[in-house]
């Protein structure tokens, strides 16, 4: 193996290792963000048991009709518990 081939191969191996680590970290951050939902400032953590993320108006209507205790979660700009629920939260993010 000449010097050029060695550098190409080792560079590729290093890049794959680095990118795979970055991907794993991103997945962990996303999982943590879903587990600990906070407002946009990060100073309030929602205590609702479940976050529903409907994809259409019909899904929102079905959820509202079927859930007993739910609140809408908008842009998460509130500094208090007004959007929190002891039941479910319904995300209005599209």
* 51 lies in the same domain as 10: no
Q: What is the pLDDT of residue 90?
A: 92
* 19 lies in the same domain as 4: yes
* 89 lies in the same domain as 66: yes
Domain that holds residue 55: 38-94
* 47 lies in the same domain as 79: yes
pTM above 0.75, yes or no: no
Spatial strand order in the sheet of 88-91: 50-52, 88-91, 70-73
What are 12-39's pLDDT values in tens digits? 767 666 666 666 555 555 555 556 788 8
Residue 83 · residue 46 · CB < 8 Å: yes
Residue ranges of alpha helices (H) inside the chain are 3-35, 57-66
Domain count, the chain: 2
* 19 lies in the same domain as 56: no
* 30 lies in the same domain as 59: no
Flag whether pLDDT at 82 surpasses 70.
yes
């Amino acid at each position: 193996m000449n010097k050029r081939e060695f550098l190409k191969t080792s560079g590729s191996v290093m890049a794959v290792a680095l990118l795979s680590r970055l991907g794993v970290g991103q997945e962990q951050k996303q999982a943590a963000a879903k587990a600990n939902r906070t407002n946009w400032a990060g100073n309030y953590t929602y205590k609702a048991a479940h976050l529903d993320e409907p994809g259409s108006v019909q899904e929102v209507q079905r959820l509202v009709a079927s859930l007993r205790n739910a609140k809408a979660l908008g842009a998460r700009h509130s500094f208090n518990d007004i959007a929190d629920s002891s039941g479910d939260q319904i995300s209005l993010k599209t």
